[in-house]
């Protein structure tokens, strides 16, 4: 049986893995992929010690750091359930279509979050047919085309900036009267000639044939249509917390509630990063929490 299992390998999971390795714990990381949401981020200019990079390269550095310590990383693994029997945690899921089960004394949950959906007509039907939740992944497919980015936070702003260098025209659709993102990004967007900002616009429907052709939005009580070939949705995230034991307390958003030591309501179960109720979802904060969760897990193991 393992001392520790870390579920997830983005910023929080990678940091937890590094700290666990340095303390010679018997542990492994179980994850769908390496890098998680970090790898899908665009420009990263606010991570201490790294003036400018991108999410993919930063995630690559995290992986190199884990490899340096020879951390056991089980990839392509979708964790379906975590339960506690006595003092043992049992993790079950699937890896490339085959079932797996692992046991450990403690858990660090670092599963991050996934993109929130608009839930408008035809959004699901046009997924991968013009609708995308990842500009880094799919943006290059829309060279010289007309696209729309939906959202008002940093992710949407970064998406529009990235697309402005690829697409012919970018509509930035924001349901609020003002953006919620960083001022430096807002100012950058205002100086890009092929981005058109539409504030106070609520997306109603996505239309098309085999692929996306139109986006319908409502503004000031009137319906409007835009001719677009791509729709990039960046309206927030939903925590990946569906697999946690029932005894782990979550808030109304589904975020795992933790204290300052990254402890949850279940003894021996720790959590870190965007899956938790931490108020600011940032890479730097997630890495700090990952270190905290690992140290708390080590302290727990030493006292039990």
> What's the pLDDT at 74?
98
Q: Is a pLDDT exceeding 90 seen at residue 146? A: yes
The pLDDT confidence band at residue 241, using thresholds 50, 70 and 90, is: very high
Domain 2-114+237-303: CATH superfamily, name plus number: FAD/NAD(P)-binding domain (3.50.50.60)
Average pLDDT score over residue span 145-152: 98
Q: What is the distance between the alpha carbons of residues 20 and 24, in angstroms, rounded to a whole number? A: 6
Main-chain phi, psi angles of 224, to 5 degrees: -130, 150
User: Could you tell me the pLDDT band of residue 43, with boundaries at 50, 70 and 90?
Assistant: confident
Task: Tell me how many degrees the CA angle 31-34-40 measures, rounded to the nearest 5.
Answer: 120
Report whether 197 contacts 217 (CB < 8 A).
no
Task: Kindly state the average pLDDT of the residues 88-102.
Answer: 97
The residue ranking higher by pLDDT, 146 or 137, is 146
Query: Residue 40: pLDDT band by 50, 70, 90 thresholds?
Result: confident
Q: Which two tokens stand for residue 100?
A: 């797996």
CA torsion sign for 151, 157, 159, 165 is positive
Residue 71: pLDDT band by 50, 70, 90 thresholds?
A: very high
- Alpha-carbon gap, residue 65 to 169, rounded angstroms: 40
The two beta strands, 98-109 and 88-95, are: antiparallel
User: Is 44 a residue whose pLDDT tops 90?
Assistant: no
Over residues 144-150, mean pLDDT? 98
Do the beta carbons of residue 199 and residue 177 sit within 8 Å? yes
Q: How far apart are CA 106 and CA 89, in angstroms?
A: 7
**Residue 42 pLDDT > 80:** no
In whole angstroms, give the CA distance from residue 83 to residue 248. Answer: 10
Please determine, for residue 31, whether its predicted confidence score (pLDDT) is greater than 80: yes
- Which CATH class name applies to 117-233? alpha beta
Question: What backbone phi and psi angles, to 5 degrees, belong to 5?
Answer: -125, 130
> Which pLDDT does position 2 carry in this prediction?
98
- What value does the mean pLDDT of the chain take? 96
Q: What is the pLDDT of residue 39?
A: 81
Cβ atoms 147, 230 nearer than 8 A: yes
82: confidence class by pLDDT, cuts 50, 70, 90: very high
Lowest mean pLDDT among 34-43, 228-237, 240-249: 34-43
pTM across the whole model: 0.84
- Whole-number Å distance between alpha carbons of 295 and 69: 17
- Residue linked to tokens 């951390």: 71
Residue ranges of the chain assigned to CATH 3.50.50.60:
2-114+237-303, 117-233
Block residue for tokens 């569906």: 242
The partner residues of 77 in beta bridges, in order of sequence, read: 95
């Amino acid at each position: 049986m393992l001392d520790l299992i870390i579920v997830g390998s983005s910023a929080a999971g990678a940091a937890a893995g590094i700290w666990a390795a340095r303390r010679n714990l018997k542990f492994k990381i179980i994850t769908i992929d390496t890098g998680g949401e970090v790898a899908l981020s665009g420009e990263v200019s606010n991570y201490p010690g790294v003036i400018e990079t991108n999410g993919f390269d930063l995630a690559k550095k995290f992986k190199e750091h884990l490899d340096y310590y020879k951390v056991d990383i089980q990839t392509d693994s979708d964790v379906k359930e975590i339960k506690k029997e006595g003092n043992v945690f049992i993790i079950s899921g699937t890896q490339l279509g085959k079932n797996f089960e692992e046991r450990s004394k403690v858990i660090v949950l670092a599963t991050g979050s996934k993109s929130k959906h608009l839930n408008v007509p035809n959004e699901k039907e046009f997924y991968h047919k013009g609708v995308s939740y990842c500009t880094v992944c799919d943006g290059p497919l829309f060279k010289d085309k007309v696209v729309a980015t939906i959202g008002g936070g940093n992710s949407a702003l970064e998406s529009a900036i990235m697309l402005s260098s690829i697409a012919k025209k970018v509509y930035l659709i924001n349901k609020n009267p003002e953006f919620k993102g960083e001022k430096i990004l807002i100012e950058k967007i205002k100086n890009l000639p092929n981005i058109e900002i539409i504030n106070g616009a609520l997306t109603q429907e996505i239309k098309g044939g085999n692929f996306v052709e139109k986006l319908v939005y409502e503004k000031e009580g009137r319906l409007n249509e835009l001719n677009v070939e791509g729709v990039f949705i960046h309206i927030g995230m939903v925590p990946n917390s569906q697999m946690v034991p029932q005894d782990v307390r979550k808030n109304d958003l589904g975020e795992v509630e933790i204290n300052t030591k990254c402890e949850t309501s279940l003894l021996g179960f720790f959590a870190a990063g965007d899956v938790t109720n931490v108020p600011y979802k940032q890479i730097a904060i997630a890495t700090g929490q990952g270190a905290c969760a690992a140290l708390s897990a080590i302290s727990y193991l030493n006292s039990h």
